[in-house]
A and B are shown apart, each in its own frame.
Chain A
Amino acid sequence: MPRWVMVIDLDKCVGCQGCSIACRFENNTPVVKPSEALKGRAVRWNDVFPLPVNPTEETGDFPNVKTRYLTRPCMHCDNPPCIKVCPVQATFKNEEGIVEQNYARCIGCRFCTVACPYGVRYFNWHAPEWEGALQATPLLPAEYLNPDRIEGGGVLEGPAVRPKGVVEKCTFCLHRLQKARARAKAEGRDFRADEYVPACVQTCTGKARFFGDLDDPNSTVSLLAKSPRAFRLLEEVGTHPKVIYLREG
């Protein structure tokens, strides 16, 4: 059973936000109205932002200023605080370590969004309200919506269009994993861990993202995880993230 891990090399990341938008089109995250975006309610499962967030707090004074940029998917913690607070088991860690979110069970209490120390859980404050062909409501999907979804048996997951009032988050593109598995099975062979990457990894302009099985000692991610540059976000809070960063320089 693979243990899925993402490695992000910040020395190669150029802050282009390709990951953010690849995720949007892969997972059907809505565009929110400008007024909502200003309130910080934009839904991008993998956001990119400067560190420090407020540019006036940049380290150093002109000309010795250093700005950094961080790209941030769900950390898919091995010890995820979000699943412990969910009163309805709408979010859970599966046997391969991916933290899933079932929209069909979610009651929108937002405990998980508060519990998550990384701020990567997004609440649908409104049903998307766009006009014309770009309209993306559950009733009338936009023409370019990704048709993939995971459903049935009380489950609604993945790129399935979410109703208002539920929480959503990065799934490591779980539906891509399921499709890759199905393809391998149909072709009568074993599934290999390198047959699947999330959309953000596929699109990364700087080739900064790597994805794979941490239990395979020869996988790229296993090798990179041993790099002296490797670190995890907020390691001290005991969440054991499965997104590993490689620092710059």
Chain B
Amino acid sequence: MAAPFTRRQFLKLAATTGASAAAMTGLQTVLASGAAHASSGEIVTAAEEQIVPGVCLLCPSGCGVLARVADGRVVKMEGNPMHPINLGALCPKGQAAPELLYNPDRLTGPMRRIGERGSSQWESITWDEAVQLVAQKLNDLRAAGHPERAVLMYGETRGQLRAFLERFFQTVGSPNTISRESLNVAAAKLGTYLTQGIYDLPAYDLEHANYVLSFGASLLEAGRLPQRMVSGYSFLRRGRADRGKVVVIDPRQGVTGAKADEWIPIIPGTDAALALGMAHVLIRAGLFDSDFTHHYAFGFDDFADGEGKLHQGFKSIVLDHYDPARVEQITGVPATTISRLAGEFAGGKPAIAILPGKGGLLNGSLNGLYAAIAIHCLNALVGSIETRGGVMTQRYPTVPDWPPLPADPTAESGRNVERADGAGALFPLARHAYQAVADRILEGYPVEALFLYDANPVYEVPGGARFVEAFDKIPFVVSFSSFMDESAQYADLVLPEPTFLERYQDDYIEGLGYPGIALRQPVIAPRHDTLNVGDFFLRVAAAMGDPVAQAFPWRAYEDVLQYRLRDVGTDWETLKELGVWMTPGYRFTRRGSERWVNEVVGADRLNAPRDGRFDFYSRELHALLGGLSNEQQAALGLSQTSDVVSLPHHEPVTYAGDESEYPFLLNVITLMSLGPYSAAANLPTLQEITGMTVGETWDSWLEMNPEAADELGLRDKDPVWVESPFGKARTKVRLVKALRPEVVNLPYNQGHSAVGRWARDRGVNGMALLNPKSEPAAGLAAFTNTRVKVYRASHIADG
């Protein structure tokens, strides 16, 4: 295509192809009328252009995009100015999306394995064959009375897709739809649930906050919603008259700490102690919101239960155990700093303490969960729950219920079987324990069909190699990946889904509190023989026959979306045209009001009363863990007993690896450039800019404090081995002063052995070094409890 058009040629073309005139945008008309020029050259552009809205999916922010489609090709991505998360902005990942769409390593159609598992021998099949194979397998499982042996592991299922996939597996008869959240947001969600009674991430009103305390997690680079946080941060900084203050608490400074007003390099795994130390100062000085703690909270003071038994409350545990002098010993943060932070937090209201989406909290022991609870309690303590400039509760658009599931005894019995990941049983606090699926299968949990949607567990979980062993025990593995990633390599069927620019999918707007919806649509026709996973399961349902088919009366996933989105406030055509629809403006609820009780505090509680009281003393934890014996509690990683179990407190982290042999803590960091998703590692532009902060490109590196390196005799850029009890990797050391000396950082999303030509054999995967053991109570993956040693690698082998 694209032989250069001169204006003259263009005029000729326009004259002869009158039919396309209607599709021409204003600009082409312009060119035909002769343009004004600043230089002697003339502007030449495409013959036909469209701007089509969509939603990015290269990180979980869900930014609205506008794709510039010139002559049928996506040539540029812009942010959608109407989308409230990014307000027209777009990060480098979104900008690089054309490299995803036109990536030469994309899978071009459905394939069936013909050689040995993992031998990369495939044959093309048709979608009809794929549908038949999957329908047959699921029907066989149902006929054998074990539909629960079909398991779905999923990553990002945006909008209706999660409910749709859950519905499909429930209809088939499996409780096993397992989210990746135990690798990222589960600790923060559980922390909110166990206190505020809402199982979701809080939304933060950064725009009106005066003081922001960010605990870990790279707010501006790689949290759950980086672009949302950047937009809020930018407004807080310079979008209004009074500039808010941002304090980052993180062992590593990173870009977020560098851009903050203050960086507190805390000892890893001690966030709970710092938060409680601040609480101590706030309570001692009477700087807390006593209206909130007395009327809308539970367990702030000591209390007597229904049987007259006395219990310890938040106030007494904090006053007894967390005076700043002791907290300084635990956290390494000076007592004067703790007092000052507390004073600023209460004096600079509205103030927010932000929970990280991943990273520091996921440290393999209950410590992380108590840290999330303690941090969220700070918000409650100063009355920031549901106040302007404080913490909001995310609302979602109203969607109609799904039609009732058909009566089906096979499915009903399957749905009641214990889950494959052990959530709710082995892990009593967990909703999902993604990384534990491999262990459970290797221990004998029977799985006969595994479906991987946006899931690459072989690469993305600590010690992912055990998933390869687990796959050996599963006769039928299906991946929906658009690329031949590390997990798809071992699948029996690979059924590529279209990229986010080629499919229908809705997206909830998260992070601003108020409800909103955005829509992905095919901005160009799918480039390859791919099928939306929703459409695929609709066809499988139809092929399976009743009763499964009965539950899915839709012809296409687009129809499912139209059904579910009919009450969002706009019609389908408008949604397609604008790409986004919302009810802007968060409506804060009055404390104790009906909406407060129904929507803001306590609504999701399963065991504790839904009484609109914020739990400083977690009645939910008391119900789940309080009745256990001391031994059972200890087995879950609890060093404390009695009431302390239900109260936020500092639990020492148990590290994998002996300190004398493995002196460093390994911190696997997510970057703004490569982000959290495997496919992004195969975009050459993102590879090129991956190591901006240290001047690295196309590679991994290990960040180390120069003093620590000095003791080891290492200089900047020396080749090193990083070795944990679980594996070792060779990379180069980069000296970074803004880092605690006992911590080393390894960036995530390098070291792929598959995915594509640009991702493969480049750098190292830190996940292979991390402790594969799940946290025993909440089933969280362990990201920050692995010790490593670092030593010089031979220069000779230095490629």
B39/A56 in contact, CB under 8 A: no
B30 beta carbon closer than 8 Å to chain A: yes
A178 lies within 8 A of B234 (CB):
no
| Cβ distance B104 to chain A, nearest Cβ, rounded Å | 3
Q: In this assembly, does B428 line the interface, its C-beta being within 8 Å of a C-beta of chain A?
A: no
Q: How far is the CA of A68 from the CA of B260 in the complex (A)?
A: 11
A141 to B46, CA, bound (A): 14
Q: Which residue of B lies closest to A58 (CB)?
A: B737
Tell me whether A182 and B43 are in contact in the complex, defined as CB-CB below 8 angstroms, given that A54-B695, A145-B2 are known contacts: yes
List residues 72-101 of chain B with CB under 8 A from any CB of chain A: 73-79, 86-92, 94-96, 98-99, 101
In chain A between 72 and 113, which residues have their CB closer than 8 angstroms to a CB of chain B? 94-96, 98, 100, 102
A53 and B695: CB pair below 8 A? yes
Verify A186–B737 contact, CB threshold 8 A.
no
Q: A-facing mask of B686-730, CB < 8 A → 1, else 0? A: 011100111101110000011100000000100000000000000
Name the distance in Å between A93's Cβ and chain B's nearest Cβ: 11
By a CB distance below 8 angstroms, the chain B residues around A157 are 39, 41
**Shortest distance between the CB of A236 and any CB in chain B (Å):** 26
How far is the CB of B268 from the nearest CB of chain A, in Å?
A: 14
User: In the complex, which of the residues A37, A183, A202 contacts B30, with contact meaning CB atoms closer than 8 Å?
Assistant: A183
Report chain A residues within 8 Å CB of B739.
62
Within 8 A of A (CB), among B15-64: 26-27, 29-31, 33, 35-46
Q: Which of A24, A63, A69 has the most CB of B within 10 A?
A: A63
Partner of A148, one of B44, B96, B255, B735: B44
Asked if A232 is at the interface (CB within 8 A of a chain B CB), the reply is no
User: In the complex the two chains form, what is the Cα distance from A58 to B7 in whole Å?
Assistant: 53
- Residue A162 at the chain B interface, CB threshold 8 Å: no
Q: A179-B45, A207-B89 are in contact. Are A94 and B39 (CB under 8 A)?
A: yes
Q: Is the CB of B684 within 8 A of A206?
A: no
Q: Which of the segments B225-233, B400-408, B434-442, B592-600 contacts the partner chain?
A: B225-233
Q: Which residue of B lies closest to A153 (CB)?
A: B40
Q: Mark A135-179, 1 if CB is under 8 A from B, else 0.
A: 000000111111111111111111000000000000000110111
A62–B740 touching, CB < 8 Å: yes
- In the complex, whether B522 has a CB less than 8 A from a CB of chain A is no
Contact A147 B45 (CB under 8 A): yes
Indicate if A3 sits at the interface (CB-CB under 8 A).
no
Residues on the B chain within 8 Å of A102, using CB: 41
Q: Report which of B6, B95, B233, B698 forms a contact with A18, defined as CB distance below 8 A.
A: B95
Q: Are B234 and A65 in contact (CB under 8 A)?
A: no
Interface membership of A25, Cβ < 8 A: yes
Assuming the contacts A133-B102, A150-B41, asked whether A202 and B78 have C-beta atoms less than 8 A apart, the reply is yes
Q: Is the CB of A18 within 8 A of B41?
A: no
Which single residue of chain A is at the shortest CB-CB distance from B49?
A: A147
Nearest CB of A to B666, in Å: 19
Which residues of A sit under 8 angstroms from B256, Cβ to Cβ? Answer: 14
Q: Are A150 and B693 in contact (CB under 8 A)?
A: no
A66 to B738, CA, bound (A): 8
Cβ of A11 under 8 Å from chain B:
yes
Number of chain A residues whose Cβ lies closer than 8 Å to a Cβ of chain B: 89
Would you call A222 an interface residue if the criterion is a C-beta within 8 Å of the partner chain's C-beta atoms?
no
Of A18, A20, A154, the most chain B CB neighbours within 10 A belong to A18
B370 at the interface (CB under 8 A from A): no
Within 8 A of A (CB), among B203-261: 220-221, 227, 230-231, 233-235, 237-239, 243, 253, 255-256, 258-259, 261
- The answer to whether A182 and B30 touch across the interface, beta carbons within 8 angstroms, is yes
Q: Which of A21-56 contact B (CB under 8 A)?
A: 21-22, 24-26, 31-32, 34, 37-38, 42, 44, 48-50, 53-56
Partner of A183, one of B26, B38, B238, B692: B26
Residue in chain A with minimal CB distance to B98: A144
Taking a contact as CB atoms under 8 Å apart, the answer to whether B44 and A150 are in contact is yes
* Nearest 10 Cβ contacts at the A-B interface: A132-B104, A155-B41, A186-B30, A144-B98, A182-B35, A34-B698, A21-B92, A150-B41, A21-B95, A65-B738
Complex A-B: 6 CB contacts under 8 Å: A62-B265, A62-B740, A142-B102, A146-B70, A151-B4, A177-B38
Q: Known pairs A34-B697, A153-B42. 17 more at Cβ < 8 A?
A: A13-B259, A18-B90, A34-B687, A38-B697, A50-B694, A58-B738, A68-B258, A134-B99, A142-B102, A147-B44, A148-B46, A149-B4, A155-B40, A186-B35, A205-B90, A205-B231, A207-B231
* B residues neighboring A (CB under 8 Å): 1-2, 4, 6-7, 26-27, 29-31, 33, 35-46, 70-71, 73-79, 86-92, 94-96, 98-99, 101-104, 220-221, 227, 230-231, 233-235, 237-239, 243, 253, 255-256, 258-259, 261, 263, 265, 672-673, 684-685, 687-689, 692-695, 697-699, 705-707, 716, 734-741, 757, 762
